[in-house]
Every structure is written in structure tokens, then in C-alpha cells.
Structure 1
């Protein structure tokens, strides 16, 4: 998967590295902004208990 992504990115190696860094930053932004808060609403840590 990563090799095919690397092959479809345009430009020389230095430009591909910049594209990959931008893509990773975009994915992390989306995860931190929408996905993690949505999952946090579904998993309520206050309801968890340890022991009996």
C-alpha cells in the first residue's frame, strides 16, 4: 500500500516527502478534530470500574 502511494505521488523525492508529511498532518488533524471526540462520546471512561 505504501509503495503504491509512493509511486503515484508526483515529483522528485524531496517533493514526495513534503507531500507525505502534509498527508500525515492532514490525517492527524482529522483524527484529533472529528474521530477521537466521536469515539470518546461512545466510550465513557467514568463508567469503567476496576476490581469488584
Structure 2
């Protein structure tokens, strides 16, 4: 795929390299501006299951496991 793109870009090596950089930056821009904001509500990153209620909240009142100094 990249070879096909490289062969179809106009100009010499330096022009092709510059055009490749511009195309890559354009793809990154489109991803951050449109694709990622669209997909963010569909991803489970905000589904937190730790709520701090119940035992084991890490208050330091229990004894340390064997071999671990307090």
C-alpha cells in the first residue's frame, strides 16, 4: 500500500517525502478532530468499577502480609 502511494505521488524524492509528511499529518488531524471524538462515547473508558465502598479501602488498619514490613 505504501509503495503504491509513493509511486503515485508526483515529483522527486524530496517532494514525495514532503507530500508524504503532509498526508500523514492530515490523517492524524482528521483522526483527532473527527474519528476519535465520534468513537469516544462508544468506548468503555469511563466504566469505572472501583467505588471505594465496602472493606479493603486501604486505610492501613489491617496487618501486613507475612514478609512485608510496615
Range class of TM-score, shorter chain? 0.7 to 0.9
Aligned to 1:42: 42
CA RMSD for the aligned pairs? 1.4
Normalised by the length of structure 1, the TM-score is 0.84
Larger Rg: 2
The unaligned stretches of length 5 or more in structure 2 are 51-70
| Runs of 4+ displaced beyond 3 Å | none
The structure carrying a bigger helix percent of its residues is 1
The unaligned stretches of length 5 or more in structure 1 are none
Q: How many residues align?
A: 50
